[in-house]
């Protein structure tokens, strides 16, 4: 009987993991305040990086600023697109646009003020990075940031292009 219960649990968990293989449908805002459904994230069959960050998060800013230096090369070589999802709440949201403008990021930026997308994707702390393949499936994720993590991310992107 215990084996049957264990097998049922494993089957349920594997189905849950399969269901979470795509970005959930959550309405967030872009920098202009327009609504955007995250289920519509795509990149013409090329990889997509989704990076959760906040203006109050120093490792987040270090990671995205480091990637910004090599992002044009990454785009040329792989066609990758990076979407930076700010989880700044209503108190700190006003700092997002000035920070982005001052950093000269060439990323698409979405605002998850209510943190609905953060919860839906089980993001517990930032920075948290997801890599989607050309079919929009989550194939890799990483939490936190240390110098050199951007190289690991790029290696994963290159693996998708083979």
**What are the phi and psi torsion angles at 136 (to 5°)?**
80, 15
Q: What is the residue range of 119's domain?
A: 23-160
Asked if residue 6 belongs to a domain, the reply is no
Average pLDDT, the chain: 89
**CATH code, 77:** 3.40.30.10
Asked if residue 8 belongs to a domain, the reply is no
Asked if residue 147 belongs to a domain, the reply is yes
Region 109-115: mean pLDDT is 96
Closest CA to 93 of 65, 116, 108, 112: 112
* pLDDT tens digits along 17-37: 434 599 999 999 999 999 999
Sign of the Cα torsion 68, 74, 79, 82 reads: negative
Predicted local distance difference test score (pLDDT) of residue 94: 92
Asked if residue 56 belongs to a domain, the reply is yes
Total structural domains within the chain:
1
Predicted local distance difference test score (pLDDT) of residue 2: 54
Q: Which residues contact 88 (CB under 8 A, 6 or more apart)?
A: 54, 55, 56, 95, 96, 111, 113
Asked if residue 74 belongs to a domain, the reply is yes
| Prediction pTM value | 0.86
Spatial separation of the C-alpha atoms in residues 47 and 82, rounded to whole Å: 9
Spatial separation of the C-alpha atoms in residues 117 and 23, rounded to whole Å: 9
Whether residue 12 has pLDDT greater than 50: no
């Amino acid at each position: 009987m215990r084996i049957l219960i264990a097998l049922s649990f494993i089957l349920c968990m594997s189905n849950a993991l399969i269901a979470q293989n795509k970005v959930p449908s959550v309405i967030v805002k872009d920098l202009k305040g327009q609504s955007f459904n995250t289920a519509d994230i795509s990149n013409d069959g090329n990889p997509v990086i989704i990076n959760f960050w906040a203006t109050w998060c120093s490792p987040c800013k270090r990671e995205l600023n480091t990637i910004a230096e090599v992002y044009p090369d990454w785009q040329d070589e792989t066609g990758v697109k990076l979407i930076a999802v700010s989880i700044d709440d209503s108190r700190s949201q006003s700092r997002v646009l000035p920070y982005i403008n001052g950093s000269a990021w060439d990323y698409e930026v979405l605002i998850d003020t209510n943190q609905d997308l953060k919860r839906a994707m089980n993001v517990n702390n930032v920075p948290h990075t997801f890599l989607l393949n050309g079919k929009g499936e989550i194939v890799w994720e990483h939490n936190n940031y240390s110098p050199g993590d951007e190289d690991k991310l790029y290696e994963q992107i290159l693996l998708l292009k083979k």
